[in-house]
């Protein structure tokens, strides 16, 4: 009889422990779900900075978080600003390719849109009028859908491989587009980085982590002026 009572008490004790453990587990899961939902909501409530570009934006050859777009996010987080960064960089992208994939990135409104395209056009010798037309079309498409979006155009330059005339006219595209479309212009995205072997990967085109830090320092004041 004592043995049966012991077994019965043991069963009750184990059952109670299992019940409380299960309840505690469910309660913990519920708290985790609430916290996760709150974080997702906070993320959705944040304004968006969209970097739309090629391998320079994507951070070719380094971790994306160490590319200049990722460094902008780190700066924003350190200042506790209500913005999130979306990196829309794609290696090898041209202005034509960017125009064709833009709609997908415009499903949600970007509050700040940084356009960094054209470098690959220049390196491939694409007709300058086409590059300019595509840059204009990208800006028009963003404006048409989201008139309040602030647009920044990142100016680019290319080596003189295609000849001095082509190189000069390519460089002039960016201030011309910025003036025609009344958008903010970063005169040269790779200022202080281009041509410096210590700040570029062995290909001589893509910045190292140190190079991206300098690019960030070039880009950030233009973003900050809009945020402020």
Looking at the structure, do residues 20 and 105 belong to the same domain, yes or no?
no
Global pTM reads: 0.82
pLDDT (tens digit per residue) in 91-149: 999 999 999 999 999 999 999 999 999 999 999 999 999 999 999 999 999 999 999 99
Q: Average pLDDT, stretch 173-194? A: 98
Looking at the structure, do residues 13 and 107 belong to the same domain, yes or no?
no
pLDDT of residue 228: 85
Model confidence at 21, in pLDDT bands (50, 70, 90)?
low
Q: Which of 55, 66, 111, 121 is catalytic?
A: 55
The number of distinct structural domains making up the chain is 2
Q: In the chain, what percentage of residues exceed pLDDT 70?
A: 81
Looking at the structure, do residues 18 and 121 belong to the same domain, yes or no?
no
In the chain, what is the straight-line distance between the N-terminal and C-terminal CA atoms, in Å? 80
In terms of residue numbers, what domain contains 38? Answer: 1-45
pLDDT (tens digit per residue) in 62-90: 999 999 999 999 999 999 999 999 999 99
Looking at the structure, do residues 83 and 29 belong to the same domain, yes or no?
no
- Count CA atoms closer than 13 A to 207's CA, side-chain side: 24
Looking at the structure, do residues 11 and 122 belong to the same domain, yes or no?
no
Cα–Cα–Cα angle for 156, 117, 160, nearest 5°?
A: 40
CA distance 197 to 206: 10
User: Which CATH number do you get for residue 205?
Assistant: 3.40.50.1110
Looking at the structure, do residues 50 and 32 belong to the same domain, yes or no?
no
Q: Which of 78, 206, 225, 228 is catalytic?
A: 206
pLDDT (tens digit per residue) in 202-218: 999 999 999 999 999 99
Looking at the structure, do residues 206 and 174 belong to the same domain, yes or no?
yes
Tell me: pLDDT of 198 over 60. yes
pLDDT of residue 109: 97
CA distance 140 to 118: 16
Model confidence at 1, in pLDDT bands (50, 70, 90)?
low
pLDDT (tens digit per residue) in 149-180: 999 999 999 999 899 999 999 999 999 999 99
* Residues in contact with 180: Cβ distance below 8 Å, sequence separation at least 6, in sequence order: 136
* Residues in contact with 105: Cβ distance below 8 Å, sequence separation at least 6, in sequence order: 50, 52, 86, 88
Looking at the structure, do residues 40 and 53 belong to the same domain, yes or no?
no
The reply to whether 206 belongs to the active site is yes
Q: Which of 66, 203, 212, 225 is catalytic?
A: 203
Looking at the structure, do residues 119 and 18 belong to the same domain, yes or no?
no
3-state helix, strand, coil in the chain (%, to 5): 60, 15, 25
């Amino acid at each position: 009889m004592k043995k049966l009572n012991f077994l019965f008490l043991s069963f009750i004790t184990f059952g109670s422990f299992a019940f409380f453990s299960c309840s505690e587990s469910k309660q913990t899961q519920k708290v985790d779900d609430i916290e996760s939902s709150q974080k997702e909501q906070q993320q959705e409530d944040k304004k968006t900075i969209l970097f739309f570009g090629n391998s320079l934006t994507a951070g070719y050859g380094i971790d994306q978080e160490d590319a200049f777009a990722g460094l902008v996010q780190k700066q924003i987080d350190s200042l506790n600003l209500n913005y999130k960064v979306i990196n829309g960089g794609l290696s090898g992208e041209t202005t034509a390719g960017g125009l064709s994939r833009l709609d997908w990135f415009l499903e949600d409104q970007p509050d700040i849109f940084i356009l960094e395209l054209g470098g690959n056009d220049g390196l491939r010798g694409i007709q300058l009028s086409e590059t300019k037309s595509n840059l204009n079309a990208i800006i028009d498409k963003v404006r048409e859908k989201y008139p309040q979006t602030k647009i920044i155009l990142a100016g680019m330059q290319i080596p003189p491989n295609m000849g001095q005339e082509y190189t000069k006219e390519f460089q002039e595209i960016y201030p011309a587009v910025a003036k025609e479309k009344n958008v903010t212009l970063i005169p040269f995205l790779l200022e202080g980085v281009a041509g410096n072997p210590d700040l570029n990967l062995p290909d001589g085109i893509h910045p190292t982590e140190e190079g991206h830090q300098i690019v960030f320092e070039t880009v950030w004041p233009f973003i900050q002026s809009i945020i402020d």
